[in-house]
Amino acid sequence: MKIDRRIGVLMGGTSAEREVSLRSGKAVEAALRAQGLEVEAIDVGSDIVEELRGKRVEVAFIALHGRGGEDGTIQGLLEWLGIRYTGSGVLASALAMNKVYSKRLFQSSGLLTPPYQALRSVDDAAMSALLGGFGLPVVVKPLEEGSTIGVSIVREEEELEPAFQRAFDHGCCILVEKYIAGKEITVGILGEEPLPPIEIVPASGFYDYRAKYTAGLTQYRVPPSLPRPLLSRIQEVGMGAHRALGCSGFSRVDLRLDDDGAPYVLEVNTVPGMTETSLLPKAAAAAGYDFCALTRKILELALQEAA
């Protein structure tokens, strides 16, 4: 496909994942420029409408992570302005950002997701989690955050209260989830195609913010050493989760594979990390798309869909 539109790469923003987004955005900007495309980089702030108009952006490559960028709000604004954009639309973005709505849709699509309770206050939280029936360890996380921000694995009762507090720092509702022992797997989706799964092996055992963004702290296996039918099953589940939320273009689905080989869906990332060493680009590379080809394909999907 010939691309002759002026592309705005939207990055930065005000979410907790601003720094990661700037890295994603700069990598995307460089890859698009290297293909000779007309590119404007935009650090998204309250003057975004003037910026988009002033720079005469015709298609937006959204490289924003977390709130404001991955949750349907920037997508809604772009719809209003009549500017085409990459990735999922308003509804799918908003659903994917909310872990409770996501889980309901995974369940109603027949996908496994860890048993959970959503809680609104610390007192209720403490009680309900203890009475919740799935016992320790549990994972406590904010409802709408990313990059493992505010997420704790709780193995002892006395760690519950501080874990609740860390999660409540990011919103009024939190999630307490049964801890799924086993492997950490992620599946990238590109168009209608699940990419090769990646197994993530953090040295510390927990894939937290540090393990995600510090070179050398985590090992990646592409593909994981698992039987072929299980790898295909994991890809099917990834594709199923992407479809359950109505996602489009691309995404990355985070899963836990328990010791019996059952894949539990944790979440769908509608704007996954896009630095050259991020997970989706790694998976795409294993399927034969280098970083430039990946950014181009994502852009083409956006232009095709809206055509």
Ligand X SMILES: Nc1ncnc2c1ncn2[C@@H]1O[C@H](COP(=O)(O)OP(=O)(O)O)[C@@H](O)[C@H]1O
Chain residues that interact with Mg ion, rule: CB under 5 A:
254
Q: How far is the CB of 20 from ligand X (least distance, A)?
A: 11
- Distance between CA atoms of residues 15 and 147, nearest Å: 11
By CB under 6 A, tell whether 213 contacts ligand X. Answer: no
Catalytic site includes residue 193: no
CB neighbour list of residue 230: distance below 8 Å, 6 or more residues apart: 257, 261
Whether 267 is catalytic: yes
d(CA 294, CA 284): 7
Examine the residue annotation and report whether 17 is marked as an active-site residue of this protein: yes
Comparison of 23 and 178: residue with beta carbon closer to ligand X: 178
Binding residue (CB under 6 A) for ligand X from 167, 266, 268, 271: 266
Pick the catalytic residue from 116, 213, 264, 289.
213
Q: Who's near 132: CB < 8 A, 6+ residues apart?
A: 117, 138, 176
CB of 82 to ligand X, least distance (A): 31
Binder among 184, 224, 250, 278 for ligand X (CB under 6 A) = 184
User: How many other CB atoms are found less than 10 A from the CB of residue 21?
Assistant: 28
Residues 6+ apart with CB under 8 A from 124: none
Least distance to ligand X from the beta carbon of 281, Å? 17
Minimum distance of Mg ion from residue 116's CB (angstroms): 15
User: Shortest approach of Mg ion to residue 189 CB, angstroms?
Assistant: 14
| Residue 32 binds which entry of ligand X, Mg ion, none, CB below 5-8 Å type-dependent | none
What burial class does residue 241 get, using C-beta atoms within 10 Å of its C-beta: 0-12 exposed, 13-18 middle, 19+ buried?
buried
Pull the structure tokens for residue 202: 């953090």
Where helices occur in 158-266 by DSSP H, the ranges are: 160-168, 209-213, 228-244
Q: Report the residue from 43, 179, 243, 262 that binds ligand X according to the rule CB under 6 A.
A: 179
- Whether the CB-CB separation of 65 and 27 falls below 8 Å is answered with no
Which residue of 73, 121, 148, 165 would you call a contact of ligand X, by CB under 6 A? Answer: 148
- Active-site hit among 23, 252, 256, 296: 252
Interface residue list for ligand X (CB under 6 A) = 114, 139, 141, 145-149, 151, 177-180, 184, 207, 254, 256, 266-267
- Positions annotated as catalytic residues are 17, 147, 213, 252, 254, 267, 269, 273
